[in-house]
Structure 1
Amino acid sequence: MDGLSPAASVIAVIQLSASIVNICGSYIWDVKNAREDIVALQGAVAGLEGVLQQLKELLQGPTGARLSTSHTLARDISKCLFVVSDLKGKIDPGSGKKFMRKVGFRALKWPLKRSEVEGLTKDIEKYKSSFTLSLQVDQTALITGIAQTNDVIDRNLDIGKLPVAHGAEFGSYMDQHEDECLEGTRAQLRQQIAEWSVSPQGKCIFWLKGMAGTGKSTVSRTVAKSFEEANLLGASFFFKRGEGDRGNAIKMFPTITRQLTVNLPQLLPGVRKAINDNPDIGTKSLREQFNKLLLQPLLSLKPSAHQVPTRVIVIDALDECEQDNDIRTILLLLPQLGMASNVHLRIFLTSRPELSIRLGFLEIADRNYQDLALHEIPAEVTEHDIFLFINHRLLNIKRDRSLPVDWPEDTDIQTIVMLSTPLFIFAATMCRIFEDPQWDPVDSLAEVLSHRNDASKLDGTYLPVLNRLLTKQSEKQKKQLVQEFQEVVGAIVMLQSPLSIISLSRLINLPERMVSLRLNSLHSVLSVPDDANLPVRLFHLSFRDFLINSETREKTPFWVNEEDTHQKLAKQCLAICHSLTRNLCGLPSDGTPRVYIDRQTIDHYLSPELQYSCRYWVHHLVNSKDLTSATYDALSFLEEHFLHWVEAMSILGLASEIVEIINLLQSFEHRHKNHELSKFLQDAKRFVLRNGQIADDVPLQIYCSGLVFAPRQSIVRGKLERELPDWLCRLPEVEEAWSAELQTFESHSDPVQSVSFTRDGRLMASGSSDNTVRLWDPVTGTLQHTLDGHSGWVWSVTFSLDGRLLASASFDQIVKLWNPATGALQNSLKGHWLKLWDPATGTLQHTLEGHSGSVQSVAFSFDGRLLASSSSDETVKFWDAATGALRQTLNVKEVITSLEFSKDGSHLNTNLGSLTIRSWCDKHTCDTPNTDANIFLLEGQWVTLGGEKVLWLPPEHRPHCSAVKDNTLILGHASGRISFIGFMG
């Protein structure tokens, strides 16, 4: 197949597609239980066939040879050919044709699960979109007479390759049955939002806040639909805690970007450039993703000859994002979208008024947002809307359940409205209770009304659902029912990502039949699909809050013990993870890149419950009750399956999470001393820091390169040496133990000139001859941001005392001030000599003269009272920051290029070591200072400690520049690498 021309491959796909359409047609008539899936798959394949027919005609036409874009699709066409060929093999009876002629298609079952159909349909639609885009480009090129290779945009950069959070977009399959505002409800609010979206004076962000259950998500879906109908919807992201990628922000910006390129096609060139510059941009830090995928493409948009377009981005339930730091980062970044002058971008955002979100909004400059609290809308307005909603639903229930015309009484409706206000979730749950076919609506209404005096709205919402489960049950039955509820529903509310009934039953080791039975009576609070392969979900997070609340324990036996449930889930996850083996996916060689492993292969070999267990076993472990037992369980698993687990995480594309998971486990172990586990985790972290990148690219190399080059005393190597490849007969000589080098950060294309840490050590900046500044997470090694703007080498970088500003000095004779949180340029300062500026206004405060050579670096003391400067005149000078007066000069007899005060102000860390700051003398000039006995210096080829040579640096490790942070020496190499050497304090 690989040798076929594009045209021949297209013909082959067309022929296979036609065959698949016919086969599906036979199944549709004779297999009834999967008709919806069959029709969906048939439609997708038929659509693909139609697009390829047009592509074939174009390729075989007289201008076919000039169609550069269509010819670059060879790889996608080849992959598509493989997919449809494999699909035909799965659904075609094949050699069983003779048997089929005897008994007919009724003897067959539809061979694909719904999840497989959804995956195949998604892949086929992706190829169809790619081919359609190619057609549009080449057809346009032909019409305009510019169908030449150099004039066609490179279509190998497939926007569809950006990772997305499935189900997060408005109108997704997962949320298709979710409520929207009933006609006539929330009218004033919806009008206010509509006016804000198009008002020239409107703020960048509209924050709709409200308590749990007040209907924020319903409003979000409604306004998203309105924006879509008005061609104003740019993108959307609906967070949902416990829903995998929807519960965090990892894929938020790529998901939004993909939608924006559809609704704002002008963004395509800028986004393609970002992907071309960094194909892995979708996995980088939030700041990097935002800057490269959204902000820069938006800022580079050319002015439109017509009216400036308006687009609204809808972000729902931000409070359900699991990381508070990510929430703060998002709120810092989003207002920058208002900087785009050639498109009006607005953000409609909803959340609970949690502290982290309130603080985030307080940090938004010039209060560029407007807010409205749902729970502060006048009670009579909310009550009116809830009445319309309940009345509408009850009329449908009365019709569908053939209830008496006078049910329910008007007074009962008014009582339900009164109980519900202001919580729409109460009203929605009550209606679902009445709709449940397993219960009599008349009895259900009586049960609900019996809780009219409950002080808590959540009690009144959920106790009626739970209490009726115990009706007419013996004591023995009640005990069994409560136990099964806590095992099944307790697991569901604690899961970090939802699982299907099939996967859940395997995870908690209970029969699928029993799990289904226990969920049958809970359809009013849980979304339980008819297909056992689809995930079970909470209708609302408040049900989880209610079940684990300590006050619930006194009100119902169904209370869920959070720590006990986590402990059970941790054990069950580890039990499943014990099935991990080497080369789990059966890859053909140890050098197979991860990008060659398709999703179908991964899902075939790693079941949903195994994928879940690999990612979340530590989360459940650290929240367990019996912590001593948990540490031994963790050690036992890691000593046997650590490499298997790293392989699985890497294949799942989660290699970047491994260090953070180990950090979480280490923090847990520190509280519950387990010496053996502590040693293993320390070694495992070093192993992952060294091999994380190759594991992400080529997962099986952890058994090859990872083990082969691990130090002889490495615990991971010692415990798992059996995993070494059998094709090696002699191993190379390696170091005895892990070296002092902690980690290497590689990203700069030219030598690193300067590095600096924030005071808390959570962020590191590096300046390079490639004219850029890069921000790093020193714990994980993750690149957080690339700051472009200088036209010359960046030779010095330093953070402000509070870490909110970063200054970079360059050979372009400009000092730039940046916001490290967002990567935004705050100010550019131009001048000569050593100058003090007001960073807020850019006003020159003092000009400091005294050095006889060029100034190399500057730093403020921790209290901001002193300024230190180093120069090519081989001195370090201390200045009074308030007055600009010179306080002291140190003759160091070396050119120091990097300065940073220690937290206690007793030392000045430099690229050559740490200088002791002695008490001030009366004269301004002092001799070269003494160095503390335990202060290390870099002197030529050696690191010295107290003047004594202690570590020789081989030629390949000698730095181009260096810096010191506490007990860590940072070396910047000419190759662009950064190395760390840690010393015992």
Structure 2
Amino acid sequence: AYLAKLPCAVRAGYSSGNHKSCLEGTREGVLSDIEAWEADERNESVYWLKGVAGCGKSTIAQTFAARSAAKGNLGASFFCSRDYPDRRNLNLIFLTLARDLAYWSADFKTALMPIIRVNPNVQDDSLPVQLEKLLVRPFKKTRLSATIVVDALDECEDKEPVSEFLSALALHVDNMPTVRFFITGRPEDHIRSGFKLPSLRTKELPLHDVDSAAVDSDIKSFVIFRLDEIATRRRESISGQWPSDRDIAVILKKTSGLFIVASVILRFIDSPFTSPQKRLKLIVEPQESTIYEGRSGIDVVYHQILSAGVEDADEDDPVFFDQLHLVVGSIVLALKPLPRASLAEVLEMTPQEIWIILTHLHSVLIMPESESEPIRILHKSFADFITDKERCLDARHFIDAPPHHSVLGMHCLKLMNMRLMKNICGFPRYAMNNDVEDLHARRELCIVAPLSYACSSWAKHLQLSSQAGGNTSSVLTLVNDFFTCHLLSWLEVLSIEEHLHTAIYSLNDVRSWLTNNPNPDLSDLIDDCERFVLRSFDGVKQSAMHIYHSALSWTPTSSPTRQLYERELMTEAKLVNAVGPTWDACIRIVPVTVGKHVEAVVFSPSGALIAARGRNCVEVFDVMTGVNRATFDENMFIFSVAFSPDDGFLGSGNSGGTINVWDVQTGTMLRSFKWNDWSSALSVAFSSCGTMISSGGSDGTVRIWNILSGDCVCVLKGHSRAVKNVCWLAMWNQVVSASDDFTVRIWDVQKQTCSKIFAQYSDPVAALASSRGLLLVASTNGTVNIYDSQSGDIIHVITSNITHSRFSIDGGKVLVASENSGDIWDITTKTLTRVRCIDYNGDHATFSPDGTRIASIYDKFVKIWKTNAGYNHHETSTHVHYPIKDVYISPDERLVTLKSMKGAKIFDAATGQSLFTNLINNLLSIVFSLDSAFVAFLSPQCTVQTWNAHTRLHKSIAVDNVFHIAIALSPDGSQLASLSRSHMKLWDLKNEGCLAHLEFNRKLEGQEQISFSTDATSVSVLEKSHGTQSWRISPNHNIDLTRDFINNSDGTQSWLISRPLKSLVQIEQNIIPNHPRDNHDGTKLPMVFVPTTEERSNQDASVPCQSYRYETDSEWILDQDGRRVLWIPPDERPKKFSSGFKREKKVLVQTESGKVYFVNFSQS
């Protein structure tokens, strides 16, 4: 059962009939060489059969696999194909091989099954981890010998600079000494780079180097055999001697040594729609046209086949040729093969029309009779021919790729504009994608194949049409309609299909297309759409429905996207004062899991990746989408990380004198260097050629390591203290080091000597970098020196209140950072620009190489900022720069007061508008009058400041020169009661006079509370250990003590509140929440729950309010049924939070940065 659940490719093995074997007696020289390699265990573990398209690699692989299986050697095989999604998916290769090996050997299966049981989600692991678990471990345990065949590796989707498959194999092949890997593929760059990995010992055979006479002989045997077979099978349509020796000779000449050409010719001759003799004659007879004279054989063959396909067509019928051009071009240029039915819907045709058009092209196209199976070109060489104007000289057949991509893009846009709709799959409200039980069925039913293709491919088609030229007004109209009407439903589809990252790449493709088709308004809209997607990427990735519930809610109010789609906003959680009018400069917040905090961030040289370093872990993610690319766990403290020049490797400098080099593609360690246990590698840097890495040690040494050989090239000594910064100059043989001995040195690696010592600094160096002949040295005293790296002359000195500096390697910019803001120094223009729109941790901010991005640390997140002008730093009116200590809510819930150590702010609870700011430090108490018209603030300076909510005016009154415990306002706000430990006073606020004074016969404890009765006729003091005492206020403002008392449990007596006052206390508990709730650990909660006015007037309503909660370390607000009603971005989440919401419908949230906002809830 476990094996059956393993996701694998279908029909990927040699026995699935995907390829034919070599004709008996052909390719024997090559096959003998391969079989000899397989037989000798002393040979290399890997055999690479390489060659150009059409030279017969797959046929040889098929034949060798069959022969190896017959001998019992073949354990498994995988024949890759770009035409099938599962067979071009690298992630399925090791999974499929492991399954087939288990079927091949019972011993292997026995060793594999426990591994799968323990790792049920092994398909989610990286390729090296899959290989180690699924192949290496079972082979080690069983010690089985096996041959594994992987054909057409170049046809797998692999955008990395070095083949991911080969990188994984290079790491583990030595751990499988009894296993032979036979691999075929064209020598494309990433494949060649993979086979160059030092640990991948490979025997190579280039097919184009095989003796041409032997190849021609094999092709001739193949042609004769197939023609004889055709003659036998179709004898009734053939007369006379057929074929002739001349026919064979002409065909052989046209093949130019490529088996694929012979195969295409034979398919053409064997067409069921005409006589084989007639077709052969078309191939061998001289052409009337001389346009292909002197051309290669394959070009002539393709021309003849295409011409024969239209020989019966009316030359004056432009409709037929337009349709032929459209269909063939779409098959050739489609980003993935489409079934006939899907292609027909995309092109606004019928499947029958497509079948008729392609009737005579079966020799170059694979045309299944089923409408649901994809149409594919027989061989890539046909696509190469028909899209090359220099080769396909017949204008009727030539496919000009850019204009045709434009046509395909238009058809995709039309289809999306017609078929996309809100909630396309009919998901329940607030549904998480993976929680929908019949997700697959809904997706198949509602997101049909042509729509899925259009959603994923339209933008790439437009980008590929950038050079098409001509009138693009119709395309612009379709694009504009799409963005203004269907953007959100498109994002729905991408989220449901788990391709949301495609949205970012698509928007970038459209932006690229617009560079040649300028449209400022559309460009601005696309930029805004990108911000919209990036802001809520992590939430929308989990739930397509939260495009409408959450993403729109967190979009600025003046955003074009929000204004276009405001009507689609559907949520019971309404944000108040949470978003500003426009975007700020932060374009993405990426969650990282490298421990409690992120220590530092580093951009890769291309700017496409960022490494976030924790204490013992490094995470690499994609800058554009935030998608994790690799995670490296270290068992020691990490001091420094650096990327190789090609982004392919990451070096880490660690404690214990260790430098590790990691493969970013595979997530595994390539090299580990160590010199002793008591030193630490405080900094690392790759050479410009990427083959060496330098390290600065705590022992004062600079060491150079060869990544290929694993050797230490040299140890450079001269510094007297720890070396905390190293970098390479443009010349690969020069290294710069900065030490705590206050010196900067340039070293000649070849001579292993110090070639230059810069003037000694008075403070340690904080940052060091070089680029374009410049060397930047930033010291901790706030000075940045820019040197000519060759002469050592100072070009410029930047002096400011600088705490930290970061250098943009290629952008020519220096980030001059203070604690939470920064300036940018442009080396070219020698100007300083204030970055007002960025609010980051200056200690750990770093530039992208082109200077357009800044990455900074935010707790467990990395923030990515744009340095471009045009963004504003937004600070809400309720922003508090110091931690909020208390939250006070008026009795009518219309006002909220936030108290911090630096004062207090009053704001409107409905709109978030700031109404009043009190700047007195360490306020002792804040109270509202019962009618919510007045607020009073008690300061340590024995003054009370009052604020009138109606007039918005405030005034102060000196209540005494002694320390006061508490204050209270009368219901109408006209009187104030003040309480100290020795006495109580009653004040007239209008005339600022004392009305009454009562001395106590004992000292109060200092934690008492005071309040007026609802009719203002009495005042009560609540003591924690003595109960409540109440005094009546006589008309002449004398204060009389009530005579009733009660017996306490401890034997003491407390004054009894009269019945009206007892009622008062109950009301106070409901309407004056002046003291916020505490967590169980004593900390204050950042959330205060505010009952709405309607709830206060309907407290006994029979329908209860819904309950909401926010869980620790969560992204979501949940309702009482556990539904996720609102996703919260990382920078908007509470810094501390309660275990659950109460019954009220309004929540006040304080974030880590001091921002405060409301979430209002309504019944759904």
Q: Which TM class, normalised by the smaller chain length?
A: 0.7 to 0.9
1: CA distance, partners of 2:531 / 2:190? 33
Deviations 1:270-313 (A, max 9, x none): 6666665x8744xxxxxxx2222224665556844x64433424
- Among residues 603, 608, 613, which one is paired with 2:449 in the alignment? 608
What residue in structure 2 maps to residue 459 of structure 1?
299
- Note if 1:887 corresponds to 2:771: no
- Note if 1:746 corresponds to 2:591: yes
Structure 1 residue 357: deviation in Å?
Answer: 4.5
2: CA distance, partners of 1:681 / 1:532? 37
- Among residues 150, 153, 159, which one is paired with 2:6 in the alignment? 159
Counterpart secondary structure, 2:235: coil
Whichever structure has more strand as a proportion of its residues is: 2
The verdict on how the C-alpha distance between 1:569 and 1:928 changes in structure 2, with shifts beyond 3 A counting, is closer
Counterpart secondary structure, 1:808: strand
The verdict on how the C-alpha distance between 1:913 and 1:408 changes in structure 2, with shifts beyond 3 A counting, is farther
Mapped contact 2:652–2:660 kept (Cα < 8 A): yes
The verdict on how the C-alpha distance between 1:415 and 1:941 changes in structure 2, with shifts beyond 3 A counting, is closer
- Among residues 385, 395, 416, which one is paired with 2:228 in the alignment? 395
Deviations 1:305-337 (A, max 9, x none): x6443342413151x456664565555444334
- Among residues 531, 548, 560, which one is paired with 2:387 in the alignment? 548
The verdict on how the C-alpha distance between 1:730 and 1:386 changes in structure 2, with shifts beyond 3 A counting, is same
Counterpart secondary structure, 1:761: coil
- Note if 1:778 corresponds to 2:626: no
1: CA distance, partners of 2:181 / 2:61? 14
- Among residues 350, 353, 370, which one is paired with 2:203 in the alignment? 370
Structure 1 residue 727: deviation in Å?
Answer: 4.3
Larger radius of gyration: 2
Counterpart secondary structure, 2:491: helix
- Note if 1:408 corresponds to 2:246: no
2: CA distance, partners of 1:273 / 1:689? 36
Mapped contact 1:777–1:784 kept (Cα < 8 A): yes
2: CA distance, partners of 1:891 / 1:296? 54
Structure 1 residue 863: deviation in Å?
Answer: 4.6
The verdict on how the C-alpha distance between 1:672 and 1:913 changes in structure 2, with shifts beyond 3 A counting, is farther
What residue in structure 1 maps to residue 1113 of structure 2?
none
Structure 1 residue 653: deviation in Å?
Answer: 2.0
- Note if 1:972 corresponds to 2:972: no
Mapped contact 1:382–1:421 kept (Cα < 8 A): no
Structure 1 residue 755: deviation in Å?
Answer: 2.6
2: CA distance, partners of 1:914 / 1:500? 65
Mapped contact 1:337–1:345 kept (Cα < 8 A): no
Mapped contact 2:855–2:863 kept (Cα < 8 A): yes
2: CA distance, partners of 1:911 / 1:385? 74
Mapped contact 1:899–1:911 kept (Cα < 8 A): no
2: CA distance, partners of 1:937 / 1:376? 58
Deviations 1:892-942 (A, max 9, x none): 58x94x6544555353479999833357999999x9972499965444455
What residue in structure 1 maps to residue 258 of structure 2?
423
What residue in structure 2 maps to residue 433 of structure 1?
268
1: CA distance, partners of 2:340 / 2:657? 64
Structure 1 residue 254: deviation in Å?
Answer: 5.6
Deviations 1:427-486 (A, max 9, x none): 222322233221111211211211597632123422332223343554335x44322311
- Among residues 290, 309, 312, which one is paired with 2:127 in the alignment? 290
2: CA distance, partners of 1:920 / 1:901? 8
1: CA distance, partners of 2:656 / 2:549? 46
Structure 1 residue 577: deviation in Å?
Answer: 0.8
The verdict on how the C-alpha distance between 1:313 and 1:888 changes in structure 2, with shifts beyond 3 A counting, is farther
The verdict on how the C-alpha distance between 1:312 and 1:763 changes in structure 2, with shifts beyond 3 A counting, is same
The verdict on how the C-alpha distance between 1:719 and 1:233 changes in structure 2, with shifts beyond 3 A counting, is farther
Deviations 1:567-600 (A, max 9, x none): 2211111111112111111112332323645433
Which residues of 2 match residues 783-932 of structure 1 at below 5 A? 783-788=628-633, 790-799=634-643, 806-820=650-664, 823-831=668-676, 832=679, 833-840=699-706, 841-851=711-721, 856-863=724-731, 865-869=734-738, 871=740, 877-878=744-745, 880=747, 883-884=753-754, 886-892=757-763, 896=766, 899-901=768-770, 905-908=774-777, 915-917=784-786, 930-931=799-800
2: CA distance, partners of 1:720 / 1:918? 53
What is the TM-score of this pair, normalised by structure 1?
A: 0.73
What residue in structure 1 maps to residue 422 of structure 2?
582
What residue in structure 2 maps to residue 49 of structure 1?
none
* Deviates most, 875-884 or 484-493: 875-884
Structure 1 residue 364: deviation in Å?
Answer: 3.0
* Deviates most, 613-622 or 828-837: 828-837
- Note if 1:500 corresponds to 2:339: yes
Deviations 1:114-166 (A, max 9, x none): xxxxxxxxxxxxxxx44x77xxxxxxxxxxxxxxxxxxxxxxxx533xxx565
Structure 2 unpaired stretches of 5+: 288-292, 680-698, 803-812, 826-831, 870-1164
- Note if 1:194 corresponds to 2:35: yes
2: CA distance, partners of 1:501 / 1:758? 43
The verdict on how the C-alpha distance between 1:691 and 1:483 changes in structure 2, with shifts beyond 3 A counting, is same
2: CA distance, partners of 1:487 / 1:803? 40
Structure 1 residue 209: deviation in Å?
Answer: 2.3
The verdict on how the C-alpha distance between 1:397 and 1:836 changes in structure 2, with shifts beyond 3 A counting, is same
What residue in structure 2 maps to residue 36 of structure 1?
none
Structure 1 residue 738: deviation in Å?
Answer: 2.4
Structure 1 unpaired stretches of 5+: 1-128, 134-157, 282-288
Structure 1 residue 246: deviation in Å?
Answer: 4.9
- Note if 1:620 corresponds to 2:493: no
The verdict on how the C-alpha distance between 1:339 and 1:483 changes in structure 2, with shifts beyond 3 A counting, is same
The verdict on how the C-alpha distance between 1:454 and 1:469 changes in structure 2, with shifts beyond 3 A counting, is farther
The residue identity in structure 2 corresponding to 1:420 is T
1: CA distance, partners of 2:152 / 2:646? 32
Mapped contact 1:206–1:371 kept (Cα < 8 A): yes
2: CA distance, partners of 1:682 / 1:468? 49
What residue in structure 1 maps to residue 1111 of structure 2?
none
2: CA distance, partners of 1:744 / 1:460? 56
Aligned length: 802
1: CA distance, partners of 2:41 / 2:508? 48
The residue identity in structure 1 corresponding to 2:151 is I
What residue in structure 1 maps to residue 150 of structure 2?
314
The verdict on how the C-alpha distance between 1:185 and 1:879 changes in structure 2, with shifts beyond 3 A counting, is closer
Which residues of 2 match residues 208-357 of structure 1 at below 5 A? 208-233=49-74, 235-241=76-82, 243-244=84-85, 246=87, 249=90, 264-265=108-109, 266=111, 276=121, 280-281=124-125, 289-295=126-132, 303-304=140-141, 307-316=143-152, 318=154, 320-321=155-156, 325=160, 328-341=163-176, 343-351=178-186, 353-354=187-188, 357=191
Structure 1 residue 792: deviation in Å?
Answer: 1.7
The verdict on how the C-alpha distance between 1:382 and 1:191 changes in structure 2, with shifts beyond 3 A counting, is same
The verdict on how the C-alpha distance between 1:468 and 1:556 changes in structure 2, with shifts beyond 3 A counting, is farther
Whichever structure has more helix as a proportion of its residues is: 1
- Note if 1:768 corresponds to 2:614: yes
Mapped contact 1:496–1:616 kept (Cα < 8 A): yes
Mapped contact 1:900–1:910 kept (Cα < 8 A): no
The residue identity in structure 1 corresponding to 2:458 is W
Counterpart secondary structure, 1:834: coil
2: CA distance, partners of 1:805 / 1:967? 23
2: CA distance, partners of 1:912 / 1:686? 38
- Note if 1:447 corresponds to 2:316: no
The verdict on how the C-alpha distance between 1:302 and 1:461 changes in structure 2, with shifts beyond 3 A counting, is closer
- Among residues 605, 615, 623, which one is paired with 1:759 in the alignment? 605
What residue in structure 2 maps to residue 704 of structure 1?
549
Structure 1 vs Structure 2: percent identity of aligned residues? 24
Mapped contact 1:271–1:293 kept (Cα < 8 A): no
Mapped contact 1:754–1:795 kept (Cα < 8 A): no
The verdict on how the C-alpha distance between 1:416 and 1:829 changes in structure 2, with shifts beyond 3 A counting, is same
The verdict on how the C-alpha distance between 1:623 and 1:921 changes in structure 2, with shifts beyond 3 A counting, is closer
1: CA distance, partners of 2:480 / 2:40? 60
Mapped contact 2:838–2:865 kept (Cα < 8 A): no
What is the TM-score of this pair, normalised by structure 2?
A: 0.62
- Among residues 546, 557, 578, which one is paired with 2:396 in the alignment? 557
What residue in structure 2 maps to residue 647 of structure 1?
492
Counterpart secondary structure, 1:839: strand
